[in-house]
Structure 1
Amino acid sequence: MSKVKYYYDSESLSYRKIERKKRTTFKYIMLFLLTSFICAFGIVTIAGKFIESPKEKALKRELQNMEFQYQLLDIKMSEAEAVLANVAERDNNLYRVYFEANPIPDAQRKAGFGGINRYKQFEGYDNSKLIIESNKRLDVLQKQIVVQSKSLDEIALLAEEKEKLLASIPAIQPVSNEDLTRMASGYGMRSDPFTKVRKMHKGMDFTAPRGTPVYASGDGVVIRADSRASGYGKHIRINHGFGYVSLYAHLYKYNVRKNQKVKRGDIIGFVGSTGRSQAPHLHYEIKKDGVHINPINFYYGSLTAEEFSKLLEHASMENQSLD
């Protein structure tokens, strides 16, 4: 119950009851409500700046976690970039050098992406710079991986070809040292045993007893095994690929047939004296791209340094050939 208020009336010399008008009461009520609303709004606004709601707390934690994850991603990308840079260096300075391939320029390995803005969708956010930079590095890293992958595919192909080449080159002596009587004649100008005229001897003569095994000096395919070539008698020719062809002449008999694949060290025939021959021996020739070359340069696969020196000494003597 509200208190009744009075005022002193000096004219009537008495106290009179204060009568409040309804209009004034309504004005006071509205003023009170307005003041209360303003105070409440101010309190809420101020509290909002210092007190976080559960939703705001959750969003803030999510944002902090995202920034942490991007920091981890940045570290991982740095590590991946370092590893890839090491692989690229070995690729250019080791693998590609060994297999005689041109190095890949850095401009090609580390090229970015031109043209349209690929990262427009990441603009306008508080962390736009971080997100855009991370995506740029990731895209460049992915491109470098593609370039390196193609390079390694190329190296693998070159290695396969190199392996085939090393296996195919005529690299061993066609007659074993244990079976040799002597190295009768080398490559170069020699005296013909029949005419005694000096002429070019396009191979090497190895004397050995009749029936001594003759070995394929490299992997290849037999393209001839017949006696239809003048002077060679029974002979075998092997196509080693890469432009190399070896010839084994004056054989006693064959151990292979035409179109047969052979491996280095396979017995392909036996020493004889067929054709234009003065005594049992093997006449051995090598051609590269159709041109005769000195077989002495291709015995690294079967001779020691001392054996090779002796062979080189005998091959250099301008004696008489046996065919």
Structure 2
Amino acid sequence: MSKVKYYYDSETLSYKKIAHKSGRKFGFALIGVAGAFLAGFILLVIYINIPQIETPKEMALKRELQNMQLQYNIVNKKMDQIENVLANVEDRDNNIYRLYFESNPIPEEQRKAGFGGINRYKNLEGYENSKLITETNRRMDILSKQIVVQSKSLDEIAVLAEEKEKLLAAIPAIQPVKNENLKRIASGYGWRNDPFTKVKKFHYGMDFSAPRGTPVYATGDGRIERADNRSTGYGNHIRIDHGYGYTSLYGHLYKYNVRKGQKVKRGDVIGFVGSTGRSEAPHLHYEIFMNEDRINPINFYYGNLSPEEFDQVLIKAQQENQSLD
């Protein structure tokens, strides 16, 4: 119900009703609409030209997003360092370790294989920092793959190193009779005068002249293949299978210190100098086989001779004298 307003008329000394004009009401309404429109326009201009007012929750999410972006940048810098270190390890692996152990290098495409084809990062698209997140994940995957490949390669290198160590220990690399026990090197590898027929005959080993009973040493790690006198001319003799194609033979022994099938190490005493079989005097006849072919033992004394001692042995071994067997 609308209120009725009155005013006091001093001439008639009475209250009279105030009458509202219809045009005035319309004017007030128009002014109100115009004022509302103006206020809305001013508020719109202010909203566009000043920073958006954020709620506490929006502010917290924005800080979290900024921190996440910062952390991703830090992770990418650390990955730069890891990639540099890994590249250095891969280079040494291919050009030093695998080269030394005579193993083929790992191709670059094998180290980074498995990252083409389908888009494996599709679920990371459509966000404000999708490019940063996708690139970081891609680099992490490549690094993980490279580390796995490199780890397997180092495992292989460890096995190759162990095999190399076994090979080096197996090669017959020392003189079978010590220098202090030697009378002389009676004969070397090559054409020599036969002590019985007095004609030239190829001598396939080296003769070490020493007193009967002088210790004879295994020249490399291996397994005793034979310890008997059932081979023409050698008398009591020992053969050691060193593996890797190497076999060493020790002939004309006085007696054995090992048995067939026994494992020996380089430097173990395996027997004693004698003059059994086709022999003219106490000495050790020593041969080396590589894949069943006889080779010159003079090339295998690097394990216990100085350069000067080796030069002396070489000179004596090259003399075309008479062999003792």
Does residue 149 of the first structure (1) align with residue 164 of the second (2)?
Answer: no
CA distance in 1, matches of 2:267, 2:21: 129
Change (3 A) 1:5 1:144: farther
2:66 maps to 64
Q: CA deviation at 1:96?
A: 1.1
1:98 maps to 100
SS at match of 2:284: strand
1:121 maps to 123
**Cα deviation per residue 1:192-226 (whole Å; 9 max; x = unaligned)?**
11111211111000000000000000000001001
1:9 maps to none
CA distance in 2, matches of 1:49, 1:112: 47
**Which range is displaced more, 82-91 or 99-108?**
99-108
**Cα deviation per residue 1:205-252 (whole Å; 9 max; x = unaligned)?**
000000000000000000100111111111000000000000000001
Superposition pairs of residues 73-92 of structure 1, within 5 angstroms: 73-92=75-94
SS at match of 1:50: coil
1:288 maps to 290
CA distance in 2, matches of 1:230, 1:3: 150
2:225 maps to 223
Q: CA deviation at 1:186?
A: 0.2
2:111 maps to 109
1:10 maps to none
SS at match of 1:283: strand
Does residue 169 of the first structure (1) align with residue 171 of the second (2)?
Answer: yes
Does residue 199 of the first structure (1) align with residue 205 of the second (2)?
Answer: no
CA distance in 2, matches of 1:308, 1:3: 137
CA distance in 1, matches of 2:96, 2:21: 104
CA distance in 2, matches of 1:41, 1:153: 74
Task: Read off the aligned partner of 1:248 and give its amino acid letter.
Answer: Y
CA distance in 1, matches of 2:126, 2:106: 38
Q: CA deviation at 1:51?
A: 1.6
The answer as to whether partners of 2:175 and 2:219 remain within 8 angstroms in 1 is yes
2:18 maps to 17
Gaps of 5+ in 2: 8-15
Task: Read off the aligned partner of 2:19 and give its amino acid letter.
Answer: I
Q: CA deviation at 1:72?
A: 1.0
Gaps of 5+ in 1: 7-14
**Cα deviation per residue 1:257-279 (whole Å; 9 max; x = unaligned)?**
11000000000000000111000
1:264 maps to 266
Task: Read off the aligned partner of 2:297 and give its amino acid letter.
Answer: P
CA distance in 2, matches of 1:96, 1:259: 34
2:13 maps to none
TM-score for the superposition, normalised by structure 1: 0.89
Task: Read off the aligned partner of 1:139 and give its amino acid letter.
Answer: D
CA distance in 1, matches of 2:155, 2:276: 50
SS at match of 2:128: coil
CA RMSD, 1 decimal: 2.8
Task: Read off the aligned partner of 2:71 and give its amino acid letter.
Answer: Q
**Cα deviation per residue 1:155-206 (whole Å; 9 max; x = unaligned)?**
1111111100000000000000000000000001111111112111110000
SS at match of 2:157: helix
CA distance in 1, matches of 2:303, 2:192: 27
Superposition pairs of residues 243-322 of structure 1, within 5 angstroms: 243-322=245-324
**Cα deviation per residue 1:118-147 (whole Å; 9 max; x = unaligned)?**
000000001010011111111111111111
CA distance in 1, matches of 2:18, 2:180: 148
Q: CA deviation at 1:44?
A: 12
1:46 maps to 47
**Which range is displaced more, 67-76 or 292-301?**
67-76
Aligned mate of 1:238, from 237, 240, 250: 240
SS at match of 2:320: coil
Identity percentage of aligned residues? 66
